[in-house]
Structures are given as structure tokens and as C-alpha cells.
């Protein structure tokens, strides 16, 4: 069974495969590596995708649609003629075309895929992407974050080790990831992004400013005229430095105007978007506790990063120009193909290990401890925690004689839950007691595919309630859920109970008993600090601190007293 890697993009999509120790990009039926993410209906009502559909965006605008990736995870429907399609169905049509192209290229059946998603896609959008793959006849073995995929392709291509900042701006989204590559391990330290910032937004800003200059409202133009205007502005955006001062003719319905775009004009209207791009970059740097001097290289991914203005902005931020040694339009597909090779256990990739992070904070709703006001967000798994991960937190009843607790699950970064994304809930019964006297342990377990499982245990009775959060029903088969739950089950223990940690603490306690005075106090302090690390339940931090503590205790234990 062949497993392919797919970059399901806003503007273009691509796929590749890792086989026989090497990477190959797969060309579509027209001989192109990139397939436009455009879907339409022809004059007979038959579905068409890719370049053929893109050519009809202007002439048959009522039967053609693009940029639908931005609708993933929503209930929005797109009308093509008399038919309606969801973003999931439209994406499935693109994926089906890529699957057929891969089968023709390989002369073999393709049943499975690794599909890339923006790092900042929320759980609803990830489940929608997985469902689109299933509708296309693909078993989605893994969803991989786009900048992570790009870094994998870059790391294997360049064979460099170090810390990399990956900036991925495609047609509709902007992702930032900070990764470290060492000894065959690609470790993601932080991700951030903006799901509504991409090349299309620069074009929209150009169109809106132009129409404002001409004192024309977009509502007075039909869909074909608007599509034509957008395509002309797309051309100007891509070649603004070359076309600086070149006049263009625009059809504005009842009249045609001559207008000359300039590089200065483009820079002026792009400035607000470039300022927005700085926000996720700074957030990722803070989360990873990384400074500009710590970055060994800056990798550009996505067609929109070709803009000279974007590259100059990044150059000014970091005092050096970024790298683009691999085609930014296909690097994500290349990385997804490498990940597919890892899933297929290709011998040539035996030494490659890939970690990823949870891009959003996952938590629950609580009452304010002082005012008793409801609706506050209590984080359980913090954003940029390495996955898979399992964290437990203890919560207490908020009212006297409370008989049940409704654990409501949210995703986001705001201190109030109404501004975060609601994912689901579950109820658990508790004995009647005074407020704060009954407790529940709430455990969140999260894996690389975005499967979130909630376990709640009533402390006094031992009663347990479990629920897997489904945002898009049908996106995971029962068998897939079973496999993921088996993996997560292995994580469901407090790090304090892990054998290595218990053994190390026992050694520290033995040495505490062996010493007196200041040395004994010092051992008590370092054990207390390690205990605090265990309470935070961050596996990477625990591993690092365990190594430090082990060395300290070994040195104490090996001191020569004779």
C-alpha cells in the first residue's frame, strides 16, 4: 500500500512520495507539480478541478470556486450552479484528484496519506481536513503542520543542524514555527500564526484601495468583473517591482479606467499586513524562549514569501536575509512525503525522529475563586506543549451541596471562555458537600492527530468518566480512535509515578539522610525544585531537569570521604 504526502494548500496543492530511499514529487495529469486548489462544474454539470477549473474562474464565476480552505471547520456552504458544497467536500475533490494522479504515476493503488495543515489550524479545522481525506478514499495516517513539514524537507536536504525559524505564508494562512534539528531529531519548540493572513489578503487590500480611489463599490460589480480585477491585482502583486509605473486597464462595469500601480503604493497598503505578520513571529520567539541571535537560519515557505517586500521586512527584523534554497511552493509537499516515508517505516529514514507541539492552549471553564463569577478559562495543556501529552489538574466544587460538575472543554488563549472555541463537555456526579470540599481530577490527553481525550475522576469516590472530543463526527474511524487511545493510555500517569523519576527522588532522599547542615538543606532545595517541575507535567522539561539532578546526585554520591 503506497502512502503519499499531500500539501493541501489555499491556492495550490501538491503531493509526493518517499520510496526506495528518495523523495519524488508527483506531477498531475497535465504534467504540472502544482494543482490549483480550484473546483468547478463544466457546462454538463461534471466536476472539474485544478488548472482547467482555474481558467473558468472569470468566464464561469457562478460555477467555480477557489480559496475554500479558509472555510474548513465551518458550516458555510458554497453554491455552484444549483448544487451546494461544503469546504470539506470541495477539499475532498482536490484530494481525490491528487490521489488519482499519484496512482497513475506509481501504477499502484494509493490508500493512505499524510496531509499538511497550517500549524495554527484549530481542532475543528484539523478534523475537517481529516474527514476530507476520508471522503477522497484516503486513510489519513497523520496530519503534519506545514512549517514542520517544510523544516523536515529542509533539514534532510541541507543536512544542517541547528535552530531554524520557519515562516510559512501561502495564499490564505501565515504560520511561524521554531524548530531544532540535531542527531536526526527534528524538535518543534513553538508554533504561532494567523489563519487569515496570506497572499490573498494582500490582493484584497490592493483591490479595496483601488476601488476606493475610483469611488466604486464592489457591490456594483458582478462576480466575473470582480474575479478579473482580483486576477489582475494578483499579477501586479507578483511583479510589482518590475511593473512599477506600468499602466493597466481595468473593467469597472459601465466604464474602463487606466491606472498605474507603483511599488510605493503597494508598500503603503501592505504595511498593516506586514505589521500583523510580526505578531506571531514575536509570540513564537517568546514561547520558545529564543532570541534572534539563537536562530541559525530563517526558512521561507509558501508562494507569498516570494514578495520582495516581505523578505525585506524579515531581513530588517533579524538583520539578515532568509533562506529559500528549496522551492517555497513545493517544500511542504516534500516534507509531507518524508513524513509518509516515516509512517511507512522506510529503512532510509530509520534515524529520523520528529516531534511536534499543540498549537493552542486546551482548558476548561471555572468560577473565579474570589468573585465566584463563572466563565473563566483554566488552562490544562498549554500551547506549544510537545505532543503526545497527558496532563491532570485537580479542581474543586464551587457551590454548597453541588451534586454534579459539568466539565466544559475549550481551546484558545483568552482568559474568558466566551472568547475561546468550545470543543465539548461531559458531566460527572459528585457527593453533596460544602463548596471546595469535593474535588475532581481532570486529565486532558492530546496526540499528534489532534485527538483530545478527557478523563475525570471524583477523588472521594473513585468514579471515572471518559470522553473523546469529536468536533467533526466521522473524521476518525472507531479503529483509528482505538489505536490513538491505546497510545494515549500509556501517557496517563503523573510524571511523579514514572520509574526513572521515583528512583531519582529516592536517591536524593537517601543522600539527604547521609548529609547534615548546609549540604542537607541544599539537597532539600533541589529536590523541592524537581518536585515543582514534576507538578508542571511537561515531559521535555522533566527530562532536562532529571538529567541535571542526576548529575548533581551522582557527584555527591561519588565524593571521596577517605
Residues 6, 144 within the same domain: yes
Q: N- to C-terminal Cα distance for the chain?
A: 66
Kindly report, residue by residue over 19-59, the tens digit of the pLDDT: 888 889 999 988 999 999 999 998 888 888 999 899 888 88
> Radius of gyration (Cα) for the chain, nearest Å?
27
Nearest to 302 by CA among 333, 347, 280, 262: 333
Kindly report, residue by residue over 240-292, the tens digit of the pLDDT: 888 878 888 888 877 889 999 999 999 999 999 999 999 999 999 999 999 99
Query: Alpha-carbon distance 535 to 538, whole Å?
Result: 8
Nearest to 142 by CA among 539, 484, 489: 484
Whether the upstream peptide bond of residue 388 has omega within 30° of 0, thus cis, is yes
Q: Which residues pair with 454 in a beta bridge?
A: 444, 467
Residues 37, 156 within the same domain: yes
CA torsion angle for 88, 92, 93, 95 (degrees, to 10)? 140
Kindly report, residue by residue over 395-411, the tens digit of the pLDDT: 999 889 999 999 999 98
Residues 253, 310 within the same domain: no
Residue 562 lies in a domain: no
Mapped onto helix, strand or coil, the DSSP state of residue 174 is strand
The last residue of one of the domains, among 471, 492, 513, is 492
pLDDT band at 470 (very low <50, low <70, confident <90, very high): low
Residues 261, 335 within the same domain: no
Question: What is the pLDDT at residue 480?
Answer: 57
Q: Contact, 411 vs 360, CB < 8 A?
A: yes
Question: What is the pLDDT at residue 477?
Answer: 54
Residues 44, 177 within the same domain: yes
Per-residue CA distances from 219 to 202, 259, 327, 535 (Å): 20, 20, 38, 57
Q: Each residue of 66-85: b (16+ CB within 10 Å) or e?
A: bebbbbbbeeeeeebeeeeb
Q: Contact, 355 vs 145, CB < 8 A?
A: no
Q: Contact, 440 vs 422, CB < 8 A?
A: no
CATH of the domain at 27: 3.30.420.40
Query: Alpha-carbon distance 331 to 325, whole Å?
Result: 10
- Cell numbers that stand for 74 in this block: 465551518
Burial tier of 184 (Cβ tally within 10 Å: 0-12, 13-18, 19+): middle
Question: What is the pLDDT at residue 474?
Answer: 39
Query: Alpha-carbon distance 390 to 413, whole Å?
Result: 19
Question: What is the pLDDT at residue 197?
Answer: 94
pLDDT band at 161 (very low <50, low <70, confident <90, very high): confident
Q: Contact, 385 vs 335, CB < 8 A?
A: no
Residues with catalytic function: 7, 69, 146, 168
- Cell numbers that stand for 180 in this block: 531544532
Residues 261, 275 within the same domain: no
Query: Alpha-carbon distance 223 to 230, whole Å?
Result: 10
Residues 92, 189 within the same domain: yes
Residue 186 lies in a domain: yes
The last residue of one of the domains, among 230, 249, 270, is 270
Residues 34, 47 within the same domain: yes
The last residue of one of the domains, among 356, 376, 393, is 356
β-strands 22-26, 2-7: how paired? unpaired
Residue 38 lies in a domain: yes
Residues 163, 237 within the same domain: no
Residue 240 lies in a domain: yes
SS (HEC) of 292-336? HHHCCEEEEECHHHHCHHHHHHHHHHHCCCCECCCCCCCHHHHHH
Residues 328, 474 within the same domain: no
Residues 145, 214 within the same domain: no
Kindly report, residue by residue over 173-216, the tens digit of the pLDDT: 899 999 888 877 778 888 888 988 999 999 999 999 999 999 99
Residue 145 lies in a domain: yes
pLDDT at 377 over 60: yes
Question: What is the pLDDT at residue 1?
Answer: 66
What are the counts of helices (DSSP H) followed by strands (DSSP E) for the chain? Answer: 14, 28
Q: Each residue of 108-120: b (16+ CB within 10 Å) or e?
A: eebebbbbbbbbb
CATH of the domain at 370: 2.60.34.10
Kindly report, residue by residue over 108-128, the tens digit of the pLDDT: 999 999 999 988 787 788 888
Residues 86, 234 within the same domain: no
Q: How many domains does the chain have?
A: 4
Q: Please give the residue range of the domain that contains residue 256.
A: 199-270
Amino acid at each position: 500500500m503506497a502512502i503519499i504526502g499531500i500539501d493541501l494548500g489555499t491556492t495550490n496543492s501538491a503531493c509526493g512520495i518517499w520510496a526506495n530511499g528518495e523523495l519524488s514529487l508527483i506531477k498531475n495529469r497535465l504534467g504540472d507539480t502544482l494543482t490549483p486548489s480550484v473546483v468547478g462544474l463544466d457546462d454538463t454539470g461534471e466536476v472539474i478541478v485544478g488548472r482547467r477549473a482555474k481558467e473558468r474562474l472569470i468566464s464561469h464565476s457562478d460555477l467555480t470556486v477557489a480559496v475554500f480552505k479558509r472555510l474548513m471547520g465551518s458550516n458555510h456552504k458554497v453554491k455552484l450552479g444549483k448544487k451546494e458544497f461544503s469546504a470539506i467536500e470541495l477539499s475532498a475533490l482536490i484530494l481525490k484528484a491528487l490521489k488519482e494522479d499519484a496512482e497513475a504515476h506509481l501504477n499502484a493503488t494509493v490508500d493512505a496519506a499524510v496531509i499538511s495543515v497550517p500549524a495554527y489550524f484549530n481542532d475543528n479545522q484539523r478534523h475537517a481536513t481529516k474527514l476530507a481525506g476520508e471522503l477522497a478514499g484516503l486513510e489519513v495516517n497523520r496530519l503534519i503542520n506545514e512549517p514542520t513539514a517544510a523544516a523536515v524537507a529542509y533539514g534532510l536536504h541541507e543536512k544542517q543542524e541547528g535552530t531554524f525559524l520557519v515562516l510559512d505564508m501561502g495564499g490564505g494562512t501565515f504560520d511561524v514555527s521554531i524548530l531544532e534539528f540535531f542527531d536526526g531529531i527534528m524538535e518543534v519548540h513553538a508554533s504561532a500564526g494567523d489563519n487569515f493572513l496570506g497572499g490573498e489578503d494582500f490582493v484584497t487590500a490592493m483591490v479595496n484601495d483601488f476601488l476606493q480611489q475610483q469611488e466604486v463599490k464592489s457591490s456594483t460589480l458582478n462576480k466575473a468583473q470582480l474575479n478579473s480585477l482580483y486576477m489582475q491585482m494578483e499579477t501586479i502583486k507578483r511583479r510589482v517591482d518590475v511593473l512599477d509605473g506600468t499602466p493597466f486597464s481595468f473593467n469597472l462595469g459601465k466604464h474602463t479606467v487606466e491606472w498605474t500601480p507603483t511599488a510605493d503604493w503597494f508598500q503603503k497598503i501592505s504595511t498593516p499586513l506586514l505589521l500583523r505578520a510580526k505578531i506571531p513571529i514575536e509570540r513564537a520567539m517568546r514561547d520558545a524562549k529564543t532570541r534572534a541571535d539563537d536562530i541559525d537560519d530563517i526558512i521561507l515557505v509558501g508562494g507569498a514569501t516570494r514578495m520582495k517586500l516581505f523578505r525585506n521586512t524579515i531581513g530588517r527584523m533579524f538583520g539578515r536575509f532568509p533562506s529559500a534554497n528549496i522551492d517555497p511552493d513545493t517544500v511542504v509537499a516534500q516534507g509531507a512525503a518524508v513524513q509518509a516515508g516515516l509512517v511507512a517505516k522506510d529503512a532510509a529514514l530509520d534515524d529520523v525522529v520528529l516531534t511536534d507541539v499543540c498549537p493552542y492552549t486546551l482548558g476548561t471553564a471555572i468560577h473565579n475563586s474570589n468573585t465566584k463569577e463563572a466563565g473563566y478559562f483554566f488552562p490544562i495543556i498549554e500551547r506549544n506543549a510537545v505532543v503526545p501529552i497527558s496532563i491532570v489538574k485537580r479542581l474543586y466544587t464551587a457551590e454548597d451541596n453541588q451534586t454534579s460538575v459539568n466539565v466544559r472543554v475549550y481551546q484558545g488563549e483568552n482568559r474568558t471562555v466566551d472568547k475561546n472555541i468550545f470543543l465539548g463537555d461531559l458531566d460527572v456526579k459528585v457527593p453533596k458537600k460544602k463548596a471546595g470540599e469535593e474535588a475532581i481530577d481532570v486529565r486532558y490527553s492530546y496526540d499528534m492527530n489532534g485527538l483530545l481525550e478527557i478523563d475525570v475522576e471524583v477523588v472521594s469516590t473513585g468514579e471515572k468518566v471518559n470522553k473523546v472530543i469529536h468536533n467533526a463526527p466521522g473524521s476518525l474511524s472507531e479503529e483509528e480512535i482505538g489505536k490513538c487511545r491505546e497510545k494515549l493510555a500509556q501517557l496517563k500517569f503523573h510524571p511523579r509515578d514514572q520509574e526513572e523519576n521515583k528512583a531519582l527522588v529516592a536517591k536524593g532522599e537517601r543522600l539527604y539522610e547521609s548529609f547534615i547542615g548546609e549540604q542537607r538543606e541544599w539537597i532539600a532545595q533541589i529536590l523541592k525544585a524537581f518536585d515543582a517541575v514534576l507538578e508542571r507535567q511537561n515531559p521535555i522539561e522533566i527530562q532536562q531537569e532529571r538529567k541535571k539532578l542526576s548529575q548533581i546526585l551522582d557527584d555527591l554520591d561519588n565524593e571521596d570521604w577517605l
